[in-house]
Structures are given as structure tokens and as C-alpha cells.
Structure 1
Amino acid sequence: MLPTPHIKCDYDVVYEPSEDSFLLLDCFEQDQNFLKNKFQDQFVVVCELGPGSGILTTFLMQNKIPKRENTLYLALDISPWALEATLSAQERNNCQESILEVIQSDLTGSLRKGMTDLLIFNPPYVPAEKVPERPSGKDERNQWLDLALLGGEDGMVVTQKVLDQLDNILSPQGIAYILFCARNKPEQVAESMRENGWKVELIIYRKAGWEILSVYRFSRLPILK
């Protein structure tokens, strides 16, 4: 079993690692050889959208996923608290040798087209009447945490924005891992993406209390010659 990063931050403003976080850790432990083989001969750009506490990006750096060298890690979050927590997690777990850039960004707005090889997203997936507005400053502490939790109708409003941008975000060989809860209707989402030309695979799922969580892997179908 791969080591889990030690995380310490202000959970009043940053999402505390929970069942969904640990499911993603298990997902990447399970898929580490697949990723190493896929990206073995190239420079790799890894991007986590919404790193929160930084536990997942730090886990990847700590365990050299997808590989030891030629890997750039990006962590994009709208919350300044999450970016601070991610940098702190890197330092706390002695991962400074890994190249990490944290960027304050609303979803994928700061990503260059076709440059991301591995995209990871644990979205705000809790169904809500609407997606919260972005707080105007750090003083609105509780509202930053709401942004990490509430995903609008079916909990899918934010996730759908990312799915709609996958073709622009990912490199030609790029893949995305996205977490869903059952109320997001992931089977329907997967089928819709397949109809739009994507290869979609269920990688791991788990019952967590009253919820069922799952991680799907999205990649382009090979071009037939």
C-alpha cells in the first residue's frame, strides 16, 4: 500500500479529505502501472482541478505517479485557501523535488489548449438549487467551502462544464479521471460521452455511507485508418 500524505490545514475553508478523496488515492494506486506505461517516453503535464487540501496532487508527487521524471504538476483552484493548502502539503510531505505550479483559476480557464496529459477532477458534486457565487474576498470564509461542495442541479453543473471542455483541454493522448456520486447519474453521463466519441471506463467505485462514489476514466477513441 502506498503511503498517504500527511495533511494539516484549516478545514473551515478547505475541503477535508473524505471518502471521495481516499477513493481517488486508491484509484491511482490501482492505475499506477497503467499510467507509467502510457506516459513512459514523454514529458507529462498533470493537472488537478480543485485540489482542496492538496492530498491527491501530493500523493501523486510523493509516489512518482505517473513517473519519476519529466512530470509537471498543476493545481488549479478558485480558492486561495486551497492553493495555500496544496503548497503546504507539498512541503509537509517533502515533495519539493517535484515541479508544482498552483494557479488561481475558475476551472479550466488557465489551461492551454491541448496541453494536459492527465486531468483529475473531484468536483463539487452535491446537488443544490444553484452553484454558489464566488466570494469577493478571503473574509467570506464559509462561502469558499460551499464552492467545493455544491454542484447545482443533479450536482452536475460544474462537472458538465469540464466534460464539455475535455476535447480542448486534453493532449491527443490525454486522459481524464473524474469522480461522481450516484445522484450525478454517472451511467447516463458515461453513455452520453460515448455517443460523442469518447472511451469511458469505470475504474473504481465504493459505497460510502449512504452514497455510492465512482471514478471514470475518459480518453479519446483511437482513429481508425
Structure 2
Amino acid sequence: MDLQERRGIETDVYQPAEDSRLLADAVCERLANVGDGPGGGRTVLEVGTGSGYVAGRIAAETDARVIASDLNPHAVRQAREVGIETVRADLVSPFVDGAFDAVAFNPPYLPTEPDTEWDDWMERALSGGEDGRAIIDPFLASVGRVLAPGGVVYLLVSSLADVDAVAECAGEEGFSAAAVADHSFPFETLTVLELFR
């Protein structure tokens, strides 16, 4: 791949930032403190992997088998290039029931007015719709299906998307929520929620 192609991918793929690092730190720490899942090993899915940073950290720092997914074909290619087993997918749609002991997701969460959105891959990686939850709510409605018994979800949420509203939506889908990490900035607080049944 030449430099121009690389630059094109990097402008179309969400690259690691503070939210990525917070999610990776929390997931790696939490997985280090739990026992093995069914069959003696754990299988973790990272939804919306972007560059593959979070999935790569989980694979390197835990004993889990990690699978990543992203709707963006550029992200899928970039994550595969760094050795992450990656599937092009819309949220959890192609995966079988009960396949994962943990699911991690750093969703698009920035509130965006419909008339100011532009149609490209970076916009899709950032825009959470008018309330910041346009992707979070469908994810919460579908993720339970792919969780193994005792499985957990690690969801990064911004205060811009209303953490309490996200926890309430998770409750409506049968999850209990606990904040396991957070980091404050002048304009928002990022929180990692652990969702469990």
C-alpha cells in the first residue's frame, strides 16, 4: 500500500484517542480480574473497531480470543493489517447467539443535527444523531443475543449522550449497569459502563 492509500484510510478510519484508551484500559483491567468463560477460554468482540487499537490491546493484554467488527471497509482493512481478526458487520448482526463472553464498544456518540451531517466514513464514526444515542440504542437492543451466559458488555458513553439515559435504556433491555471507569474533560465526561444480567 502506498503512502497516498495509507493517508486515505487514516482519514476514513477513527484513530485511537482518549476514549479508545479509556475503553481499552477498562476492558483489559476487568478481564484480568475474571475467570475463564465457557470452554476454558474467553471470546471477546469489539464492535466498531476503527483502527483496531482496542481489540489489539485486549488481544495483547489478556488471554482472550478477540474478534473485531466494523461497518467501514477501510477500518476492517486497517484492523486486519495489524493482525486483528476482523469482520465487516453492522453491530452484531452476523454473529451467532451466545458467541461472546464480553463485547466492547466505543460507539459514535457526538450529538449532531441532521442538517449539519456530511456523508462520509468519519462522520459515521463520530455522529450519534441528535441525542448522541442513534447507534447506542440499537446496539443495546441487539447485543444481549450474542452474549454467552454470564457475559458482559463494556460500553463507552459520553456525558454528551446522557449516561443516565443510556443506563435506563440498558435496563429496559434487561441489563444492570455499573460505571467502571471515567475521565473528565472540560467539555464532557467519558464513562465506561459494564452491563451485565
State the TM-score bracket (shorter-chain normalisation): 0.7 to 0.9
Q: Distance in 2 between matches of 1:48 and 1:89?
A: 15
- Report how far residue 101 of structure 1 moved: 2.5
Residue 110 of structure 2 corresponds to: 126
Of stretches 208-217 and 172-181 in structure 1, the one that deviates more from structure 2 is: 208-217
Residue 142 of structure 2 corresponds to: 165
- Report how far residue 197 of structure 1 moved: 3.4
Aligned in 2, Cα 1:30/1:161: closer, same or farther, shift over 3 Å? Answer: same
Residue 144 of structure 1 corresponds to: 121
Residue 47 of structure 2 corresponds to: 49
Equivalent residue in structure 1 for 2:89, among 105, 113, 134:
105
User: What amino acid is aligned across from residue 26 of structure 2 in structure 1?
Assistant: C
> Which structure 2 residues correspond to residues 8-27 of structure 1 after superposition, within 5 A?
10-27=9-26
Equivalent residue in structure 1 for 2:99, among 108, 115, 118:
115
1:72 aligns with 2:49: no
TM-score by structure 1 length?
0.76
Could you tell me the percent identity over the aligned residues?
28
Q: Distance in 2 between matches of 1:183 and 1:15?
A: 19
Contact 1:127 1:183 in 2 (8 A): yes
Q: Distance in 2 between matches of 1:30 and 1:208?
A: 22
Cα deviation, 1:167-210, whole Å, max 9, x if unaligned, reads 21211121100000002111232134335532211000101342
Q: Distance in 2 between matches of 1:145 and 1:104?
A: 16
Runs of 4+ in structure 1 off by over 4 angstroms are 130-133
2:78 counterpart SS class: helix
Residue 194 of structure 2 corresponds to: 217
1:157 counterpart SS class: coil
Q: Distance in 1 between matches of 2:171 and 2:91?
A: 23
Contact 2:28 2:58 in 1 (8 A): no
2:92 counterpart SS class: coil
More helix by share: 2
1:127 counterpart SS class: coil
- Report how far residue 160 of structure 1 moved: 0.5
TM-score by structure 2 length?
0.86
User: What amino acid is aligned across from residue 55 of structure 1 in structure 2?
Assistant: Y
1:33 aligns with 2:26: no
1:189 aligns with 2:153: no
User: What amino acid is aligned across from residue 163 of structure 2 in structure 1?
Assistant: P
Q: Distance in 2 between matches of 1:196 and 1:58?
A: 29
Q: Distance in 2 between matches of 1:15 and 1:195?
A: 30
Q: Distance in 2 between matches of 1:197 and 1:104?
A: 27
RMSD: 2.3
Of stretches 206-215 and 175-184 in structure 1, the one that deviates more from structure 2 is: 206-215
Equivalent residue in structure 2 for 1:87, among 80, 86, 92:
80
Residue 154 of structure 1 corresponds to: 131
User: What amino acid is aligned across from residue 15 of structure 2 in structure 1?
Assistant: E
